[in-house]
Amino acid sequence: MLKFSANLGLLWAELPLPERIRAAKEAGFDAVELHFPYEESREALKAALAETGLPLLGINTRPGRAGEFGLSALPGRGAEARAAIDEAVEWAADLGGRAVHVMAGVPSHEMPVRRCREAFARLLAYAAGRCGEKGLTAVIEPINTRDVPGYFLSTSAIAERFLDMVASEHLKMQFDCYHAQIMEGDVTRRIERLMPKIGHIQVAAVPSRAEPDEGELSYERLLPAIEAAGYKGYIGAEYRPRGKVEAGLSWLAAYRASCR
């Protein structure tokens, strides 16, 4: 049976971050993942994680300035990008996390694509090395350009090329079914083919990005297909709840009931 993590960047957003961890435990999630914990008390996060016993799957590198959505594919920002990676690795290792999401960013129109590719490849190799030193995994996530116009890493096909280029066991793809459906479709077959390169999978409804119980993707069929394809990790619930999180968890209860 698949295990599920609560993405606390979107779920229980009205609560302080340590309280979101406790809420995830109370709601029956098996793990948590964070976006940007850097303004929080690390000791308070450690205490909440220890109290609940929930594994921390990963955190993101800082997004940079407003609208940048990451630094690693931005030419000329290498020093800042490396510092962001170092910071995320240090936080993840200290909190007992497992992965760091290296955010690519939104290059300006003046930035040559070739230089963006070169910058991203260099930073991914650096991130994989730093994560490897700490027993972590660096992950990259294709993000759709409807929600984030101009995001450099927008499809799994592009991500796969960088994974092959860097060729590190410490670098994987974070496959978000929501983004993949918007940009590419064919989600089931895509996951099956990419399984050896996938480090984490996330879900949300398309196109609403609400609970995964509506819209274009049939998660009652997709989740068993992911399990059948041999996925052993967690499914990240990274969606914007329609109301109170607890009121919208029937999708999770239905999946677990189907596995009994």
Q: Is 169 a catalytic residue?
A: no
Assign 176 to helix, strand or coil: strand
33, 68, 211, 238: which one is catalytic?
Answer: 238
- Smallest CA-to-CA distance from 96 within 61, 35, 48 is with 48
Q: Is 28 left (phi over 0), alpha (psi -120 to 50) or beta?
A: left
Q: Which segments of 134-258 does DSSP mark as H helices, in order? A: 156-166, 177-183, 187-194, 219-228, 250-258
Report the C-alpha gap between 250 and 67 in whole angstroms: 34
Report the C-alpha gap between 81 and 211 in whole angstroms: 33
Q: Is 141 a catalytic residue?
A: yes
Cβ-proximal residues to 252 (8 Å cutoff; 6+ apart), any chain: 4, 28, 237
Are 236 and 200 within 8 A, CB to CB?
yes
33, 68, 141, 211: which one is catalytic?
Answer: 141
Active site (catalytic) residues: 141, 238
